[in-house]
Amino acid sequence: MIVCGALVVPPTSPVYTPHELAHKRVALDYGNGTAYAGLQMLEGAMPREAVTTCAAATSPAERFAGLMRGDFEATVLQEPWITVAEQAGCRLVSTTFFHGTWVATPDVSVEAYAALLRAITRAVRLINADKRRYVSYFIRDWPGHPEVAELRPHDFNLGRIQLKDPGPIPEDEARWAWDWMASWGLIAGTFDVTTQINRTVEREAHELAAAVRAG
Amino acid sequence: MAMTMTIERVMAFMGLDVLVAKDEGLFTAEGLDLRLAALPPDEFQSAAEGTPTKPTTNQGKLQARGEAQMFQA
């Protein structure tokens, strides 16, 4: 699954581009992919010393509420809260996409992982054939939140819902991610693919799962 | 006999494919009994308690104590 993260400002904000967030507080849920996506969107627009962040709740519902209260200038949201924000008149000043990555214990067998990959591949194809049918999943994740319950399938921008067949992690991308995190002081040590990725299990599982992709 | 695997709970924004596969019986069709485990609410820590270099992510907590075999990061 490809995750979409959007840098969002409230309706009354004078900010229209990510560059204009220099030296302004951007709320990030540190330790989560959306926070790293936020940092990458910001540093693509300004020098690192101009990137100014503050700690925010893990829940995008709380980050959205804080944004609307004016607790900070911007935050990063994911679906369905990007759509909620748009419905509320907020502006997206940047969007980006990133992979979700599976982390497994050593006891996950090749056969079990291959079965998981085959099932997910079939699901990806079902969803991609009719994305609108499945956007209700984003709504059902948030019971008790009226702003989400009010969303209708046609409110969602399907371009932000991207899925692809699962595949091995490209070593370059893993290394770039590691080095980038290290450059921010978020991780220590140097990247060693042999300790981070079990290439044997990964390769054998993907080979076992490959038959469904050819089908 | 079906294989069993427990993964940490996923939400649609990063695991729509997993949720649809489960509801559509696709894991079962592959001989995999996939179970989703959620962190008890009282153990959930907000990222607001963390710092960039010392985050308080909840990802991987169940895996770390042997209650899940996989999680998404």
Q: With 80 as the cut, is the pLDDT of residue A212 above it?
A: no
Contacts of A104 in chain B (CB under 8 A): 69-70
* A147 touching B (Cβ < 8 Å): no
Contacts of B70 in chain A (CB under 8 A): 102-105, 108, 116
Q: Which two tokens stand for residue A115?
A: 């079965």
Q: CB within 8 A of A82, min separation 6: which ones?
A: A4, A6, A8, A92, A95, A157, A160
Helical ranges in chain A per DSSP H: 33-43, 60-69, 81-87, 110-129, 131-134, 136-140, 146-149, 171-183, 193-196, 199-214
Record the pTM.
0.94
Task: Summarize pLDDT for A6-41 with one digit per residue, the tens.
Answer: 999 999 999 999 999 999 999 999 999 999 999 999
Round the average pLDDT of chain A to a whole number and report it.
95
ipTM over 0.90: yes
**Highest-scoring range by mean pLDDT, A154-158, B2-6, B38-42:** A154-158
Residue of A nearest to B18 (CA): A120
Contact B72 A100 (CB under 8 A): yes
**Which tops the pLDDT comparison, B55 or A8?**
A8
Q: With 60 as the cut, is the pLDDT of residue A215 above it?
A: no
